[in-house]
Amino acid sequence: MRLLHSAARTSAAFDDEDVVSLAGLVPVMRLAQEAGLPDLVADRVRLGTSIGCNPAGKIGAIVAGMVAGADSIDDLDVLRHGGMGRLFGQVYAPSTLGSFLREFTFGHVRQLDAAARSLLVSLAAACPRLLDNAASWTYVDVDSLLRRTYGKAKQGAGFGHAKVGGYPVLLRGLSPLVATVSTDTAAPVVAATRLRGGTAGSARGAASLVAQALGTAREMGAGTGPAPGGTVLLRGDSAFYTGAVVSAARRAGARFSITVSMNAAVRRAIAGIDETAWVPIRYPNAVFDDEAGVWISQAEVAETSYTAFAGTRHEITRRLVTRRVRREPPPGQDELLPAYRYHAFFTDTALSTIDADLTHRAHAVIEQVFADLIDGPLAHLPSGRFAANGAWLTCAAMAHNLLRAAAALTSRTHARARGSTLRRRFIHVAAVVVRHARGVRLRLPRHWRWAGWWMRLFHETHSPPLTA
């Protein structure tokens, strides 16, 4: 591609008051409005100060900025340009939104969390494809991550464990805890979030978060089908192998599949498995083994009965499914005896041993959500105040779910697309705002590659109206 005009004949000016660069926010925020975002926030969030007035409009502005790709408070200024004032009301300055976030306390963040969960339920009702095939298996995945911070001014920041280049390191930061809901055909959405200090262990607050996420999944329609379908399965790594988490899943009527920590009792149980019980398994896609640093595509699995949390009120006897991968000898050295690496998880599902292992390994789908959040609003935790960052995390979850619901209204392909892809195709499209028949018309660029899907989203959110 080359320019058609010389530099001397080319000029530029930012002087058109009718052009917007984020025309995709029109159908997306219409979806949010029809799903009840303003009313849900207004009913639940009560800051009680002049700076905290009109939380519905301010939260809506923050979420809209995040949908557009804002990853800091200053970036929210992207909403104030050209003809945006002719399309949206209550578009606040970043300084106003930053002051608003700093008014939050922990209790106010919990109020906003409740609004976010109710919004997700409304989006699931308006967009059935958001939780497609929920009458069969629905997966609730819980995990934590460390978002790095710099300097010592941020409240709650501390040194926590993270991996960089596959190596465990200690980094200063804050630790969000996230639970997602997904199915075999639907991409994960965020069901619950909680911000913790950087020194928090992964399981801190996990039991109550799991209970909230499982309740939200039920309200979304998960687990409504007949047996053996209609099952809600909680999945987690070894950090969440605690009696409180397992009991929370059982109280909510969900199944569980959680990686166990390798201790003496688990090793004895694995050693007691008969050699003839091991069956080969081949993974459709290669799996990366962190310990060996290699990709593996085949292993062996077996199971045995195991009593977890013995001697506590959470004691329970269920299946211990174990996968073993053969250790390869060093180059040039013959193998004397076979050696294996073992990975076990504790579950109460009725799946076969192989299917249980494949289903458990799919827990890694939550990493897709983390990648989307880090590539968007969670690139930074922008405030020095802990509660403000907690509110920012909740808004990021709402923006993620809103963008995912909008994508589900376009096509099955886009329903599983990355957030950056959705922003590039549907949000970051320029338009001219013109008066038309006592209304407003958006004139979008001709030959836009995704125009058909964009118009489908527009018509789905404007006519007929959605049922919240």
Predicted TM-score (pTM) of the model is 0.92
468: pLDDT strictly greater than 60? no
Question: Tokens in use for 319?
Answer: 């299946």
- Range in 102-106, 107-111, 165-169, 261-265 with the lowest mean pLDDT: 165-169
Question: Tokens in use for 27?
Answer: 């159908």
**6-45: per-residue pLDDT in tens?**
999 999 999 999 999 999 999 999 999 999 999 999 999 9
Which pLDDT belongs to residue 272?
93
142: pLDDT strictly greater than 70? yes
**Using only C-alpha atoms, what is the Rg of the chain?**
25
β-strand pairing of 316-326 with 294-308: antiparallel
Q: Tokens 């209304």 identify what position? A: 439
- Range in 157-171, 253-267, 291-305, 354-368 with the lowest mean pLDDT: 291-305
pLDDT band at 260 (very low <50, low <70, confident <90, very high): very high
pLDDT band at 366 (very low <50, low <70, confident <90, very high): very high
Which pLDDT belongs to residue 39?
96
**63-116: per-residue pLDDT in tens?**
999 999 999 999 999 999 999 999 999 899 999 999 999 999 999 999 999 999
Per-residue CA distances from 190 to 20, 21, 123, 263 (Å): 30, 28, 12, 32
- 412 forms bridges with which residues in the sheet? none
Return contacts of 35-39, CB within 8 angstroms, 24+ apart.
35/119, 35/122, 35/123, 35/126, 35/405, 35/466, 35/468, 36/118, 36/119, 36/122, 36/468, 37/63, 37/115, 37/119, 37/398, 37/402
How far is residue 413 CA from its own chain's centroid?
18
407: pLDDT strictly greater than 80? yes
Which pLDDT belongs to residue 291?
59
Exposure letters 365-394 (e unless 16+ CB within 10 A, then b) = ebebbbebbeebbbbbbbbebbbbbbbbbb
How much helix, strand and coil, in percent to the nearest 5, is found in the chain? 40, 25, 35
Which pLDDT belongs to residue 153?
84
d(CA 21, CA 13): 15
> What string of DSSP letters covers 324-357?
EEEPPPPTT---SS--EEEEEEEE---S-HHHHH
Q: Tokens 């405030």 identify what position? A: 383
Question: Tokens in use for 173?
Answer: 């930061």
Contact 216, 124 (CB under 8 A): no
Which pLDDT belongs to residue 228?
42
Which pLDDT belongs to residue 294?
60
Which pLDDT belongs to residue 296?
65
Q: Which of the 8 DSSP states describes residue 123?
A: H
Contact 233, 257 (CB under 8 A): yes
Which residue type sits at 352?
Answer: S
Which pLDDT belongs to residue 133?
75
Which pLDDT belongs to residue 136?
82
d(CA 232, CA 221): 10
Helix (H, G, I), strand (E, B) or coil at 259: strand
Which residue type sits at 276?
Answer: T
- 235/440: higher pLDDT: 235
Which residue type sits at 207?
Answer: A
Mean pLDDT (the chain, rounded): 90
Which pLDDT belongs to residue 438?
81
Percent of the chain residues topping a pLDDT of 90: 74
**111-139: per-residue pLDDT in tens?**
999 999 999 999 999 998 898 876 789 99
Which pLDDT belongs to residue 286?
62
Contact 182, 216 (CB under 8 A): no
227: pLDDT strictly greater than 60? no
Which pLDDT belongs to residue 225?
46
Residues 6+ apart with CB under 8 A from 78: 22, 65, 68, 69, 70
Count of Cβ atoms closer than 10 Å to residue 463 Cβ: 7
* pLDDT, mean of residues 175-186: 94
Which pLDDT belongs to residue 98?
96
* pLDDT, mean of residues 343-366: 93
Ramachandran region of residue 385, left (φ > 0), alpha (ψ -120 to 50) or beta?
Answer: beta
37: nearest Cα among 8, 61, 2, 68 = 61
287: pLDDT strictly greater than 80? no
- Range in 334-348, 374-388, 440-454 with the lowest mean pLDDT: 334-348
Q: Tokens 């090793």 identify what position? A: 267
Which pLDDT belongs to residue 222?
75
Half-sphere exposure of 432 (CA within 13 A, CB side): 8
β-strand pairing of 189-197 with 231-236: unpaired
361: pLDDT strictly greater than 80? yes
